[in-house]
Amino acid sequence: MKALVVDDAPDIRLLADLVLSMAGFTVSAASSGSEALRKLAAGDLPDIVLLDVQMPDVDGWETLTRVRADSRTADLPVVLCTVKGLPEDTLKGWSLGCDGYLGKPFDINGLVDELHGVLHRTREQRLAIRRAKVAELRPLVSPSQQP
């Protein structure tokens, strides 16, 4: 299994690399959304992407939007990993098409479990979970803050 870890913080990239490598993943990393998009465009796609939201250059929201807009990567599983944990942030992530949403700091076992869980779901199951999460979160977010 191949994972692409996208985070501007070197310590988070290193930690995720160590944890995921020990769990059997082959890990590559990108320090920005633009670097991640270049890697994805270059060809050899990962099985899953772990994506930070708050990054300079191209943030995680825009990176996810571009991943979903590209026919080659539209179905690529993406798990957001971010400090942005307010309901409106979580709603935005699920609305843009994430397949998982982890808060930072993350639990090491929770990270591995989340990625394995997402990878074991079919495309249809991932889409159904997205719809359910959006429906669950929408009532918690005022209309002016909804994506």
Average pLDDT of 81-108?
92
| Strand, helix or coil for residue 4 | strand
The total number of residues written for the chain in this structure: 147
CA proximity to 3, closest of 100, 89, 95, 70: 100
**Residues 37, 42, 46, 51, Cα dihedral to 10°:** -10
* pLDDT score of 86: 83
pLDDT exceeds cutoff 80 at 117: yes
- 34-81 pLDDT per residue, tens: 999 999 999 889 999 999 999 988 999 999 999 999 999 999 999 999
> How far is the C-alpha of 147 from the C-alpha of 56, rounded, in Å?
21
> How far is the C-alpha of 84 from the C-alpha of 24, rounded, in Å?
28
Q: What confidence category does residue 147 fall into, taking pLDDT thresholds of 50, 70 and 90?
A: low
CA proximity to 140, closest of 92, 105, 96: 92
Strand partners, 48: 3
Average pLDDT of 119-137?
96
- % of the chain surpassing 70 pLDDT: 97
> How far is the C-alpha of 8 from the C-alpha of 29, rounded, in Å?
10
